[in-house]
Amino acid sequence: MVTTVIGLMFRKKSSLVSNKVNTSENFESLESMILQEEVKFTFAEVVKDVDDFHDKYCIGTGGFGRVYKAELQSGQVVAVKRLNMSDSNDIPAINLHSFQNEIRTLTSIRHRNIIRLYGFCSRKGGCISLLYEYIERGSLGKALYGVEGVNELGWATRVKIVQGLAHALSYLHHDCSPPIVHRDITVNNVLLESDFEVRLSDFGIARLLSTDSSNWTDIAGSFGYIAPELAYTMRVTNKCDVYSFGVVALEVMMGRHPGDILESQLQESSKSRRDKVELLMKDLLDQRLEPPTNESAKAVVLVVTMALACIRTRPASRPTMLFMAQKLSAQTLPCLPEPFALSRSHLQQRPQQQQQDQAGDQTLQSRPPNQISNIIINVSLTASLSDPAVQQGRRLTNCKTTINTLKNSSK
């Protein structure tokens, strides 16, 4: 009977397949299932190739389980995520919930910056596994903190990584119906192809949001990346992902986790809204690299500035991922509220204003390499943002604060 059901479901679309695993009864009765029709191998082959999940084939641990690399006889390489199991014969409820979320989410997603799910396998009292495409370079965290991290991850590559992650999240938030919140964005859940193209992974705790409400749930995510409001509101929105994105973007540019900045932000948020913090750009850049120059400098300043907008304590003051993806791709410096407006804005301008903007561009481009880090940012951590305006892509007019170049590094 199970074989017949599986045979029929092989012919259905993946979205229909995912609906069949919504109940524990259906889920636990399945021995295995391949979701993608073009996949020509079985899970038995995969399990054999990893020697029944021997430790020597393990390439990572995260979320609710371990990840194994399987090299099939056909030459194809796949990754298998095996969810953690309890000592009993019952599937742990939290893992089952995670597994079903990941299946339901990934089978409906098609985006170049999001990892692809080939299939899954489950057996009552046995293993629960997800079968993914294999991403060659592994995690962003591995690349960023590895021995070759400095040599491989130049400024242009880091900007590309942040752009790819922004596009992945913009797709989840604005192109999926209902919108999808990832909830666990870290450097270890961002994978890199051989050409450093981003693939966002690990949807074990993803949430599907209805268009007119938020899900109320327990806190899930990784320490150091969780939006501060979750600690007291327990309310999940796409702005939680925006915060985590900002943390990752800063981590990529700084070469370390920006924990000190996040801590100072929380401290300042309890003070007057007029209080500001001055951040020197050179303190927000990876000290292992030479300062960026010319076009790279412009892109780096843009990424850092936009990332700071994402980690604001008030969710409503953060931009949307659609806004972020558009501006990062265009590599334009949008007019954000204090303190995220640079010395030039992109409002509808008069000729004189355009000339001033061009002069500002030339100043930034021609700045000596050792001067690009001498930029100071006045950060108002609690200024509000008109979120509907951001969602519609409208440029804001209340730009008052600028980023000023210091005359010398000792000032």
Write out the catalytic residue numbers: 184
- Distance, CA of 13 to CA of 15 (rounded, Å): 5
Strand pairing class (198-200; 235-236):
unpaired
Cα angle 218, 224, 230; round to 5: 30
Q: Residue 240: name the closest of 258, 222, 227 by CA.
A: 227
* Torsion angles phi and psi, residue 121, rounded to 5: -140, 140
Give the tokens for residue 295: 């076009």
- Distance, CA of 44 to CA of 27 (rounded, Å): 18
DSSP structure class, residue 114:
B
Strand pairing class (180-181; 207-208):
antiparallel
- Distance, CA of 245 to CA of 321 (rounded, Å): 9
- Distance, CA of 296 to CA of 124 (rounded, Å): 53
- Distance, CA of 246 to CA of 319 (rounded, Å): 10
Can you say whether the dihedral through the CA atoms of 65, 56, 44, 17 is positive or negative?
positive
Give the tokens for residue 60: 């990572």
DSSP structure class, residue 12:
S
- Distance, CA of 28 to CA of 21 (rounded, Å): 9
- Distance, CA of 125 to CA of 95 (rounded, Å): 13
- Rg of the chain's alpha carbons, rounded to an integer? 23
Instruction: Work out the number of other CB atoms within 10 angstroms of the CB of residue 228.
Output: 18
Whether residue 81 is annotated as binding a ligand: the answer is: yes
Give the tokens for residue 47: 């399990």
First to last CA, the chain: 77
Indicate the annotated binding residues for ATP. 81
